[in-house]
Structure 1
Amino acid sequence: MGNRFSIPLNALRAIELVARHGALAPAAEELGVTTGAVSQHLRRAEERLGVELFARTAQGLRPLPVLTDMLPQLSAGFLALEEALAGLTGAQDGVLNVTVGSVFASRWLIWRVAKFNAARPGLELRLDVSGAIRDLNRNDIDCAIRFGDGDWPGVDTFPIGGTDYQPVCSPEFLARYPMPLDLGAVPVIADQTTMLDWALWLKAARLDPQTKLSGPVYSDASLAFDAAISGQGLLLAADMMSADAVSDGRLARPFAQPVTGKRGYFLATAKGRRLSRKLQSFRDWLEQEVPDSVDGYLSQIRHRA
């Protein structure tokens, strides 16, 4: 029986890595070879296939459409090989590596890690807390929790919640500025990283969407939450993220009028990645833990399961 691959697996891996990174050096580092060796892999593969795979540009190597179309399958294939090898050795079966933003980690997930550990003994949750979008094709990351519309290239997504949002503030702030609040005359905290839309909420609350808002400005969402808790102003926050602080009295919802936006939190995995037992376990736990009252996303998860 002849060789089923017209080019060696090492060359295929080099193609996949360079296509994802857009450069030879990261691929060479991951493969443990020189950039010259990676370049030779690409050249010989293109010669054997009779197809040009990359455009050589001043900004680096850019995959051509023929490769772009096949890249998700290549990436998923190598992920499957890595997972199969890990399954043979039992490596990382008891560890789930999750990359997550600071707000979700600090305002929701960190308070429930002990509960997860109790519900899923033998499975350790390891968090990579970062505002950066990590490459989910890496073998040291199992999944991500991201906020947005869920339509990201190269990933599969499962909705979690967090689409409802409204202003929150501390009880002390409400004591200083009793209702009805004039948003144009009270401090409003500006979170420079937020994807929540003040104009949409103002319109839903039958207030002027052109109201000029001013107050403290923060470039870190977690600090913006702390600023609201400390009484510095109103903050627009997802109900899911403010729920714990509201329930224990650190925050209040003065208008009690949420609006449903187009964005929410999603569990994201590399496109085509097999849903391992530990990933399925984490997804099931999220479905159980996020209250049904947060929004209607959970029913979608149940229908897709």
Structure 2
Amino acid sequence: MSKGAVYKQGDIVAELERRLDAGIYTSGFPVGADLAAEFGVNIKTINKAINQLVEAGRLARKRGVGTFVLSRSAGEHQIEVLFEGYSALFEHPFWGEIWNGCITQLLDSGYRPVLTQLHADDGTGELLLDDFRFSRTEGKILLGITQPRFLELIQEQGVPVVSAGDRIADPEFPQVYFDYEPGIREAMQFLSGRGCRRIAFLGEVKDSYNPMLLNKFHAYRRSLESLGLYDPELTEHTRPLPEAAGNALRLLLARTMPDAIFVAGDHQVPYIEKVLKGKGMRLPVVGCDGLSFAAWPTVALPRRAAGEAAARMLVARLRGGITPEQTVLPSRFVC
């Protein structure tokens, strides 16, 4: 490194790759703050450079643990992990825990994960696939990608594939998915038991390019129908983006008045509470997913277990083992 040099992200990635190739970081990868100080850049630039090396399969990141180097010997057997989301996978409040489960199990089994992050249209959720290319790997794990067009493309690759997270409609597609029904049913019973009769839903309620995202809504509707409380006027569609839920609540409140709110994602609850506070309203709010920061009642999902189970299923298939086509993990209500 030259003293006083100005380093851009590409320069940092190239230098870190050189060091990885030379075995400089075999005893451990430095923390981001130290690298930022060394290269004279801010932590965001370092994080972007590290993310690029994670996507290339040179590094792995685990929330709460840190960044570590993936050995070359493990790289002889690579697994592509495909994900679509609004933030880096290992920083994502939902999918990051599933990723941690996946990579722990893959590395323990001698496979190196290679991350591929896809992008989608913000308005419709349709995957942007015009310039997309798969990595050449022995197998693939899908995290929450259920669009039929993409499933057709990945099956054409001719390698074993397992999905983790949202349910795929095809019962013959190998998958580990969440059953939202028991947890959401408990949540609706919890609210109705406290006198709530107009329980609103904020989340995906319309057909989209990812129809399986409607599973939470269907579980909500069936639960309230069994209680004689379902009212379609109390539902408002919103994409699973954090700030979108606040706008959806404003639309809902402009036409009707709920006495409780069920939100399809915990990451959206703070925006719901902000809108309610601004209007001087206090309503019971229940979230979904059981994210670590949730300080409200929520429907919790065994996310890390889903990642571990998906990786185990894929490794077993790669080694010629017989596994079930589907593993279903139940949700539970936590208050």
TM-score, normalising length from structure 1? 0.38
Ranked by relative contact order (alpha carbons within 8 Å, sequence separation 6 or more), the top structure is 1
TM-score, normalising length from structure 2? 0.35
Which is greater in Rg? 1
